[in-house]
Structure 1
Amino acid sequence: MKQPSFLQRCQYALEYCGARALEGLIRLVGIRRGAVAGAFFWRHLAPFARQHRQAHANLKAAYPDMPEDERVRIVSAMWDNLGATFAEAIVLDQLAGPEADIQVNGLDMLQAQRQTGKGLVMVSLHAGNFEALGVPLAQNGLAVAGMYQKIRNPLVEAHVLTARERFYTAGLFAKGAASLRQVMVHVRHGGIVAILADQRTMAGISVPFFGRPAPSNPFPAMLARRLDVPIIAARCRRLGPARFAIDLEAVDVARDGSVDADVEETTARIQARFEAWIRECPEQWMWGHRRWSPDKA
């Protein structure tokens, strides 16, 4: 692996110091006030980013009949949510504290599944505060492993992983070929893994999403089909600053055809579940990424 240059190391150090200073400020004012401030700043600064234009383009394609003022409202509310999420994630441990409130709907289904001793695949999406999912699971004694996207800055990544490890007590796996094998072993031996599966995966398979083909991650479906384990979808709904409801719902795993056909069908079912949830609260999903192929918004 190529070593970072001196200037890169200086940049990493400055970014890390800035992140820790912001963390200290949020701890000083409390997570709820920090979330309100994060929402305010992101709402006013994010419109200058490329992702703002992308969010409008995606919404227009997904809801072609939506009035422009409603689209503007949803994108503005989306930045509110993401700004609050950013602030809350910086002090992730405080989501388990007295200022935070996380309700879980469907926890009994998850606990009943654990009694079988079989592994379990959880899929989630970038909605509400998607970083909050692991908190109530750990609080209820469920050891869950998570998959994550590596952060370019190694200092920031180490700090973020330390915060997440408190709630993902079965381990954290960076996305990559080696991690896929480790996750398969973990689930085969009765473990739970949580995977964010709503973003574009160009090496994946295209299934319908808001009426258009969307390259999607087949790995959760493949795990469930090959290891004969269930899938539970999870979403986080923001109720207020540091206040959430997490909804759990089983996804039927196709087992009637070839492995490839069943994986494609199950992947489509996962994305259909995500779409239904997004339609309920469109302002809480992350519209600013390129979910579809470049020529299709």
Structure 2
Amino acid sequence: MDRPRFRAHFLHPRFWLLWLGLGLLWLIVQLPFRVLLVIGRALGWVMYYQATDRRVIAARNLELCFPQYSKAERKRLLKKNFASTGIAFFEMAMSWWWSKPRLARLAHIEGLHHLKQAQLDGHGVILMALHFTTLEIGAALLGQQHTIDGMYRQHKNALFDYVQRRGRERHNMDSIAVEREDVRGMIKQLRKGRAIWYAPDQDYGAKQSIFVPLFGIQAATVPATSKFAKLGHALVVPFTQERLADGSGYKLVIHPPLSDFPGESDEADCIRINQWVERAVTECPEQYLWAHRRFKSRPPGEPKLYKKRG
């Protein structure tokens, strides 16, 4: 895709309210990082009480995935999760607008040599990530150290799409945004030895998925990771990030490439991926995006796991 360009029609009055909101957000994120953490937690507290639908979905996911926790433990985890979601709002803006040196001071990166070695060997890389609340800033911090391309879905609001893409791509001057539906484009970039951020941990519907266990529940899981790795002759390199509790920044970990992947079957690969998802999420459950209806699609004959929205 071409680099985002400013358009004159972005000055149309229908965008003024968004410009105002973006300007206010820009001003707020000039505050010190630790102050933003406090404000973010406060925003998360408001969201916990106001975003009822999302709270119900997240609570249900925690109930399904952590039945061993008491009701009180899950409620505490749910509140922490909303605090993390509130902070993520400002992390997004930080990754778009903070100066690169200021942002870089927050990064604590481990395993970068796995990406460097793959590049030296001429291998494309599927940077297998997860939908943590920290995904936006995690990608920005890693992008300052190593060029990564990203799967991209155009936003309906043209101005927001421009601001978002410009903010994301400024960390990688030669990065490429690959349309989420552009399979050929992704494979082409992998064969060129590019590293592409890709997250296979959401429910994209039963038609394009295989049902395999996730936290003991049959979950619709896309086999695309295997197909991309096979067709793109690429390594699959897991990537995680975590907001550190002491307020010093973020720990980013590039894990070793998956060995013997793809395996014997798409089903076996999906099981392996979900087992990795379980381990990664369990290490930092309060920072995972629980508000997504991960178990929305059900195998034939199985009951729905979420209540109908009122």
The TM tier, using the shorter chain, reads 0.7 to 0.9
The alpha-carbon distance between structure 1 residues 17 and 253, as it changes in their structure 2 partners (threshold 3 A), is: farther
Corresponding residue for 1:137? Answer: 142
Matched, 1:248 2:251: no
**SS of 1:251's equivalent?**
coil
Higher helix share: 1
Corresponding residue for 2:46? Answer: 44
Deviations, residues 204-247 of structure 1 (Å, cap 9, x unaligned): 22222111121123222211122332100111111045711012
Corresponding residue for 1:296? Answer: 305
- The residue identity in structure 1 corresponding to 2:199 is L
- Structure-2 separation of matches of 1:35 and 1:153: 28
**SS of 1:114's equivalent?**
helix
**SS of 2:234's equivalent?**
coil
Corresponding residue for 1:194? Answer: 197
TM-score (norm 1): 0.86
Corresponding residue for 2:231? Answer: 226
- Structure-2 separation of matches of 1:248 and 1:277: 12
Matched, 1:266 2:272: no
- Structure-2 separation of matches of 1:41 and 1:136: 23
Identity, % of aligned positions: 22
Corresponding residue for 1:126? Answer: 131
- Structure-1 separation of matches of 2:211 and 2:18: 37
Deviations, residues 137-176 of structure 1 (Å, cap 9, x unaligned): 3332x22110133322211111010000012442112322
- Structure-1 separation of matches of 2:63 and 2:263: 37
Deviations, residues 24-80 of structure 1 (Å, cap 9, x unaligned): 2222x2344223202211223333211101111111111223111111111111111
Corresponding residue for 1:108? Answer: 113
Corresponding residue for 2:92? Answer: 89
- Structure-1 separation of matches of 2:262 and 2:290: 32
- The residue identity in structure 1 corresponding to 2:131 is H
Equivalent residues of 1:13, 1:155 under 8 A apart:
no
How many residues align structurally?
281
TM-score (norm 2): 0.83
- Structure-1 separation of matches of 2:16 and 2:220: 36
- Structure-2 separation of matches of 1:255 and 1:52: 37
Corresponding residue for 1:35? Answer: 37
Matched, 1:20 2:23: yes
The alpha-carbon distance between structure 1 residues 97 and 273, as it changes in their structure 2 partners (threshold 3 A), is: same
- Structure-1 separation of matches of 2:99 and 2:58: 28
